[in-house]
Structure formats: structure tokens, C-alpha cells
């Protein structure tokens, strides 16, 4: 009678390879932070401070909530990082050797271009949101303004010392007038679309800066006591 021999159990090498199964949840992405930054700015631009949430950013960006909460404690931290990232990616104008008019024009042009760009609504919302939530958003507002017209204070003061502007020129009000005019032009223009605003950007900025300089040069600046 033929003896029955029991088959040896299959070894690990002889077993068929089973496909790897992914665990539950979204896949991880190497670009988690850039996607979160873009989403935070887009949501903040459309819905303001009250409409910005970490859960909303995760859903909008297609990122797992755990990835968001591991990186940021709250929406203020995320928005601050998003604004810093945006400013780091926007090169400052090269103004080496420029006179006062060209200096102001270069920065006003860059500011207007940023406000009429993809993240203009988010930057514009910083003003009203910071006024309503000063304790939370003041640092974010300062980061944004650090790249705006007010960052030119020292350079404009140097222009005063060189004699390009009259002694005693009120540098702060000059820069605030240009910065504020660009913002208001973007926010309250009743009929122009964003593409129309961008198309007229160069003419508007040039007229704005020239008007401010003509006003300063036409009116004697009183001596400081």
C-alpha cells in the first residue's frame, strides 16, 4: 500500500505575494504645507476670519485633519504662516539707485499687483479682520504691512535728507496715503472688474504717486518746532 506523505506547509518564500493594503484615511502628501497655505488664503479671502477653520482648510486642500492639527494649534497660526509664505514668494522690487519717484512707483506697483492678484481678497480682509480681532491678528497685519508702502520709511527719510523732498516732509502720511489709496481703489471701485483694475494699474499708480509728490512740492512744509 502506498504510504501517504503529508505536504509540507508553505514557506514565506513560497506563499503568493499579497498586494499591500493602504490603511484608512487620506494618503500623505509631501506638499501638505503649501496646499494648506493656499487653501487658508483662499478661504480667508472669501469668508473672512469667522469663516476660516482648520477643518475647512483640511477639506478644501484635500489633506487629512491630523496633518493640519499636527502642524498648527489654531487658525491664527496657520494664517500667519500662510501670509509669511506668500510674502516670501513675492520678491521685493529692486530699487537700488532709484530716485524718490521711481522708488515709490516700484513699490506702489508691486503692492497694487499683489492686491489685484489671486490672494488680494485675503490681504484686503486682513485690514478689517485685524481691526475686529486685534489680539489675534495684529502680528499677521504687521507681517503684511512689512512688505507694503510703510516699509519704505527709512528710504523716504533718506530722500528727505538728500533734498529730493522738502525738509520736514511727513513721511508716514505720505506712505499711508499711497498704501490706503491703492487699497481703497481695489475695494470700492464701483464698476471695474479685477481684470479691468489690473489693466489700468500702471496708469493709476503713476497718477497716484505723481499727485502725492506734486502736492508735497507745491505746498511749503512748515518747520518743525
pLDDT tens digits for range 66-78: 999 999 999 999 9
Q: Which three cell numbers stand for residue 4?
A: 501517504
User: Which residue has better confidence, 26 or 84?
Assistant: 84
Q: Return the CATH number at 56.
A: 1.10.10.60
**214 & 111 share domain:** yes
Overall average pLDDT of the 55-62 stretch:
97
**Residue 10 pLDDT class (50, 70, 90 cuts):** very low
pLDDT of res. 49: 93
pLDDT in tens, 105-115: 999 999 999 98
Overall average pLDDT of the 163-167 stretch:
92
- Which residues 6+ apart lie within 8 Å of 51 measured at CB? 43, 44
In a domain, 45, yes or no: yes
Overall average pLDDT of the 179-189 stretch:
88
pLDDT for 81 beyond 50: yes
pLDDT of res. 19: 37
**77 & 117 share domain:** no
pLDDT of res. 219: 53
**110 & 67 share domain:** no
Query: Whose CA is closest to 121, among 56, 20, 51?
Result: 51
**148 & 212 share domain:** yes
Q: Return the CATH number at 179.
A: 1.10.357
pLDDT of res. 27: 46
**Residue 100 pLDDT class (50, 70, 90 cuts):** very high
**126 & 213 share domain:** yes
pLDDT for 189 beyond 60: yes
Query: Whose CA is closest to 81, among 38, 42, 117, 37?
Result: 37
**105 & 70 share domain:** no
**78 & 129 share domain:** no
Structural domain boundaries enclosing 134: 95-218
**177 & 69 share domain:** no
Q: Is 63 exposed, middle or buried (0-12, 13-18, 19+ CB in 10 A)?
A: buried
pLDDT of res. 145: 63
% the chain with pLDDT above 70: 81
**80 & 101 share domain:** no
Asked if residue 89 lies in contact with residue 111, where contact means CB atoms within 8 angstroms, the answer is: no
**Residue 64 pLDDT class (50, 70, 90 cuts):** very high
In a domain, 63, yes or no: yes
Count of structural domains within the chain: 2
Amino acid at each position: 500500500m502506498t504510504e501517504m506523505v503529508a505536504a509540507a506547509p508553505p514557506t514565506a518564500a513560497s506563499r503568493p505575494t499579497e498586494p499591500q493594503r493602504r490603511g484608512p484615511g487620506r494618503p500623505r502628501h509631501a506638499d501638505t504645507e503649501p496646499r494648506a497655505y493656499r487653501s487658508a488664503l483662499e478661504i480667508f479671502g472669501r469668508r473672512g476670519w469667522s469663516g476660516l477653520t482648520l477643518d475647512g482648510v483640511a477639506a478644501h486642500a484635500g489633506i487629512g485633519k491630523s496633518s493640519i492639527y499636527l502642524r498648527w494649534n489654531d487658525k491664527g497660526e496657520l494664517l500667519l504662516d500662510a501670509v509669511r509664505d506668500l510674502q516670501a514668494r513675492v520678491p521685493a522690487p529692486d530699487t537700488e539707485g532709484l530716485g524718490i519717484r521711481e522708488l515709490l512707483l516700484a513699490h506702489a506697483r508691486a503692492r497694487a499687483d499683489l492686491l489685484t492678484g489671486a490672494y488680494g481678497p485675503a490681504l484686503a480682509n486682513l485690514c478689517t479682520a485685524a481691526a475686529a480681532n486685534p489680539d489675534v491678528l495684529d502680528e499677521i497685519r504687521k507681517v503684511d504691512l512689512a512688505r507694503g508702502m510703510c516699509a519704505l520709511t527709512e528710504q523716504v527719510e533718506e530722500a528727505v535728507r538728500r533734498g529730493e523732498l522738502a525738509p520736514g516732509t511727513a513721511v508716514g502720511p505720505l506712505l499711508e496715503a499711497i498704501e490706503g489709496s491703492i487699497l481703497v481703489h481695489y475695494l470700492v471701485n464701483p464698476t471695474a472688474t479685477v481684470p479691468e483694475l489690473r489693466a489700468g494699474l500702471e496708469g493709476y499708480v503713476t497718477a497716484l504717486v505723481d499727485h502725492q509728490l506734486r502736492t508735497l512740492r507745491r505746498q511749503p512744509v512748515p518747520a518743525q518746532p
